[in-house]
């Protein structure tokens, strides 16, 4: 009887460990796919900006979106309006990292080098950027963005 009890306990522990490993593996895969999807969305925003597809760009922004830059703070409407006054000629994104402070919140940090024209003046900048994404009703949208000049 003791032998069966010991054997049953060992089998239960093994099954628990296998089940736990599958749960952790599944959670890692979901995080990886979420990371990949959000990084792709962030890249899409820059591409939409460059090719002047403002409608598509706006679909990624939540209505309560905010951004902060060295000269101003924007809402969704003012961001989309001011984008039309800047002609993004080229950009490069690198060193993109993502963390999930909560299950439905993602923080993306990365380096961005870009050049473009504002009011006829060429702007070339090496920056660091931060975007915050939130998942509401099953959809990820950006709620906050900022970028600032990187130190040489």
Look up tokens 């995080």; give the residue: 31
> Greater confidence, 5 or 64?
64
What confidence score (pLDDT) does residue 150 get? 87
What confidence score (pLDDT) does residue 45 get? 97
76 to 55, 63, 80, 102, 111: CA distances (angstroms): 12, 6, 6, 24, 23
Per-residue pLDDT for 76 more than 50? Answer: yes
CATH number at residue 120: 3.10.450.50
What confidence score (pLDDT) does residue 71 get? 82
pLDDT band at 13 (very low <50, low <70, confident <90, very high): very low
Q: CA 83, 57, 55: angle at the middle one, nearest 5?
A: 90
Q: What percent of the chain has pLDDT over 70?
A: 80
- Count of domains in the chain? 1
The answer to whether 62 and 77 are in contact (CB under 8 A) is no
Residue range of the domain that includes 104: 2-149
**Cα separation, 64 vs 149, whole angstroms:** 25
**Cα separation, 63 vs 67, whole angstroms:** 12
Look up tokens 């050049």; give the residue: 115
C-beta pairs of 21-27 under 8 Å, 24+ apart in sequence:
none
């Amino acid at each position: 009887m003791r032998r069966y009890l010991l054997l049953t306990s060992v089998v239960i522990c093994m099954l628990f460990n296998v089940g736990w490993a599958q749960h952790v593996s599944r959670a890692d895969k979901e995080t990886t796919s979420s990371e990949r999807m959000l990084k792709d969305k962030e890249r899409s925003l820059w591409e939409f900006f460059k090719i002047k597809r403002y409608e598509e760009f706006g679909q990624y922004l939540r209505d309560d979106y905010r951004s902060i830059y060295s000269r101003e703070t924007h809402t969704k409407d003012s961001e989309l309006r001011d984008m039309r006054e800047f002609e993004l000629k080229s950009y490069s994104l690198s060193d993109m990292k993502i963390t999930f402070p909560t299950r439905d919140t993602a923080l993306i940090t990365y380096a961005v080098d870009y050049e473009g024209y504002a009011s006829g003046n060429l702007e070339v900048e090496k920056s660091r950027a931060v975007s915050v994404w939130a998942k509401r009703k099953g959809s990820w949208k950006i709620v906050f963005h900022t970028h600032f000049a990187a130190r040489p």
